[in-house]
Amino acid sequence: MDIMIGPEKSSLLRVMPRLVQIVRVLIRRKFLGALIGNRPWPPPQEVRETFEELGLAFLKFGQVLAMRRDLLPASYIDELELLHDQLPGMSIGVVRAAVETELGAPLKDLFSSFSTTPLAAATIAQVHEATMRNGRHVVVKVQRPGLDVLIATDIETLRYLVSLGERFFPRLRALDIPLMVYEFGKSLKRETDFGREARSIVLFRSALADLPDLWIPDVVAEYSGRTVLTLEFSPGERVDVYAKLHPEVIPRSISTLVRLMLQTIFEEGLFHADPHPGNIFVLPDGRLSLLDFGMTGELDEPMRESLILLLEAIIKFDARAVSEAYLEMAPMSELVNHATLLVDIKAVLYEIHRSNLAEVSIGDALDSLLRVGSRNGVRNPGEFFLLTRAFVILESLLRVLAPHHDYMESFREEIARLTAQHFSVERAKRKSTTLARELERLMNDAPGDARRVLRRIAEGNLGRVQAPSLEALGNQVSRNLERLTNTMAVAALIIGGSLLLIARLDGWLHLLGEAMVTIGFFGMIIAGVGALRGDRGR
């Protein structure tokens, strides 16, 4: 006789060993007493060792906490920062086996030299310095074995805990925590795919090629795979260490960091989601070197346009504009309390406005938006969570580099430049050309397609329903469709001409704008008169 086990019980059985392990670690490290309130928190070193012992997901969470100096005492932050690149390393035997399995050749045949001591040991992988047979100086990033199983187990454990929490605390459902767990799991899987990271590096190198103060190491494709990534060697030292020795050059570095973040977001739809100090080095010639592209995000064009309006509105403290841009970034939201959302956004902007400008944080503002949005029924897209995390980490880094520097001025300047570029006349012309082509295609194809479909309906070819009167209805729908396309063409002329006039250009562009607006208005009048005549005739 077979015993049937439901999906929920099966999930619990799978995660039970991990749950037991977590509880044992927390008890041994005396965390449970601190959570309940009966004991003081363990010392900083004990906290860091607890994160390390609990594994990958907790290590990543600890890295995020290490950047939030507003949440934890400095002693805990200093200890958690060691999670970035000072974890226990893999043995050279494990590294050799991983490289040889991935690249399909003995290590001695691939490299003329391969350091047995890692340059860095992080949560996902560790990095070794090496020299290729052709003399090229490289670093080899080797992934820790068994991460796929560990990630799947941790994410399933988190999902179970979240479902259990929502069952006993219904208020948690408004926070949409399952979506956050899902996105966290997806980001971890992306981070462990070195093939995806290699493609991201190529895209970022192309997008930031015009930044003279930035260098991104190139990928050695033939020596890379899903779990091994070989890159050009990047000499230098961590940016936070460099800042203490050369504080006079840090304002320039801050401008470079702000520009690379915003430029890739708004021009390419990409962003580096983990810009902590261990991923940014300063080369001997003073240029910044950006490393580790395992955690990146992508934004489509509509989301980028909404985001630039959102950031501009936050800087200007315009609550209504913030609300509109924010809701455009979360189009799947249906049951939103707009009035309450606007009130909560005003409260967020008020807290920002009353702060010292040097302490204003875009990352914290976005994080506050996520919280008030979830509270008011907004379904935040996953990329918004990742983008918020990126801004929080970047701004925390900027405060570490120059605590008294007004880095918001760099944000304002770059956003102003990108806004002017994003809504420039050239971009409007390209969009008008694209819109005109789509309208032309619609005007040419839609009436014929509509007639053919409606004729088939009238003839009963789309089912058993016979409807002789549908032919007349089809003609009416076709006429209405033609009116719609004509109206859209007229609107395109008026909008395009208005953009040219608003830009206050001289010469033929100004004349072109006036002509487009004039033709558009006359077209609107003609279309209206034609519609009235047609209605009266019928």
Could you confirm whether 109 is annotated as catalytic?
no
For the beta carbon of residue 505, count every other beta carbon within 10 angstroms.
14
> From start to end of 372-497, where are the E strands?
none
Cα distances (Å, whole numbers) of residue 213 to 209, 241, 258, 283, 358: 10, 18, 12, 10, 25
Q: Are 409 and 299 contained in the same domain?
A: yes
Cα distances (Å, whole numbers) of residue 90 to 98, 137, 227: 11, 22, 14
The strands making up 288-290's β-sheet, listed across from edge to edge, are 214-215, 288-290, 280-282, 237-238
Any domain includes 58: yes
Angle, CA of 106, 109 and 114, to the nearest 5°: 85
- SS3 label, residue 462: coil
Any domain includes 209: no
Any domain includes 168: no
pLDDT at residue 133, rounded to an integer: 94
Q: Name the domain boundary from 48, 83, 118.
A: 83
Which position has the token pair 């956003």? 415
Structure tokens at 519: 């033709």
Structure tokens at 538: 């019928």
Q: Are 304 and 368 contained in the same domain?
A: yes
Q: Are 414 and 298 contained in the same domain?
A: yes
pLDDT at residue 528, rounded to an integer: 54
What is the distance between the alpha carbons of residues 273 and 295, in angstroms, rounded to a whole number?
A: 5
SS (H, E, C) 174-202: HHCHHHHHHHHHHHHHHHCCHHHHHHHHH
Beta bridge partners of 127: 120, 141
What is the distance between the alpha carbons of residues 310 and 327, in angstroms, rounded to a whole number?
A: 10
Q: For residue 377, which phi and psi values (nearest 5 degrees)?
A: 90, 10
Question: In whole angstroms, how large is the CA radius of gyration of the chain?
Answer: 29
pLDDT at residue 199, rounded to an integer: 93
Q: Name the domain boundary from 51, 67, 83.
A: 83
- Determine contact, residues 403/254, Cβ cutoff 8 Å: no
- Determine contact, residues 306/380, Cβ cutoff 8 Å: no
For residue 240, what are the domain limits? Answer: 236-423
Any domain includes 203: no
Q: Are 271 and 335 contained in the same domain?
A: yes
Q: Are 452 and 366 contained in the same domain?
A: no
- Determine contact, residues 299/385, Cβ cutoff 8 Å: no
Side-chain half-sphere CA neighbours of 207 within 13 A:
20
pLDDT at residue 531, rounded to an integer: 52
Any domain includes 522: yes
What is the distance between the alpha carbons of residues 421 and 497, in angstroms, rounded to a whole number?
A: 18
Sign, CA dihedral 127-133-136-137, equals positive
- Determine contact, residues 198/221, Cβ cutoff 8 Å: yes
- Determine contact, residues 265/304, Cβ cutoff 8 Å: yes
Measured over all CA atoms, what is the biggest interatomic distance in the chain, rounded to whole angstroms? 89
Beta bridge partners of 130: 114, 138
Structure tokens at 390: 């990126």
Q: Are 384 and 448 contained in the same domain?
A: no
Q: Are 474 and 520 contained in the same domain?
A: yes
- Determine contact, residues 391/362, Cβ cutoff 8 Å: yes
Q: Are 439 and 519 contained in the same domain?
A: yes
Instruction: Work out the angle between the directed axes of helices 362-375 and 301-316 (0-180°, nearest 10).
Output: 110
pLDDT at residue 6, rounded to an integer: 43
pLDDT at residue 473, rounded to an integer: 46
- Determine contact, residues 131/140, Cβ cutoff 8 Å: no
DSSP state at residue 219? B
Q: Are 397 and 431 contained in the same domain?
A: no
- Mean pLDDT in order along the chain per 10 residues (538 residues): 43 75 81 66 86 79 64 79 70 94 94 92 88 95 88 80 67 61 75 90 90 93 94 91 89 89 85 87 92 86 85 84 88 76 89 68 82 81 81 86 78 76 56 54 59 59 46 52 60 62 58 65 58 50
Structure tokens at 267: 């021009």
State the total domains in the chain: 3
pLDDT at residue 470, rounded to an integer: 44
- Determine contact, residues 138/220, Cβ cutoff 8 Å: yes
Any domain includes 261: yes
pLDDT at residue 224, rounded to an integer: 95
- Determine contact, residues 158/188, Cβ cutoff 8 Å: no
Q: Are 321 and 365 contained in the same domain?
A: yes
Q: Are 460 and 351 contained in the same domain?
A: no
pLDDT at residue 217, rounded to an integer: 95
Catalytic residue among 85, 274, 292, 364: 274
Long-range contacts of 96-104 (CB under 8 A, 24+ apart): 98/142, 98/143, 98/145, 98/227, 98/228, 99/140, 99/142, 99/228, 102/225, 102/226, 102/227, 102/228, 103/223, 103/225, 103/228
Structure tokens at 534: 């047609």
What is the distance between the alpha carbons of residues 267 and 298, in angstroms, rounded to a whole number?
A: 11
Q: Name the domain boundary from 35, 60, 83.
A: 83
Sign, CA dihedral 345-351-353-359, equals negative
pLDDT at residue 129, rounded to an integer: 96
Any domain includes 306: yes
Beta bridge partners of 404: none
Q: Are 396 and 324 contained in the same domain?
A: yes
Any domain includes 448: yes
Angle, CA of 239, 243 and 246, to the nearest 5°: 125
pLDDT at residue 230, rounded to an integer: 97
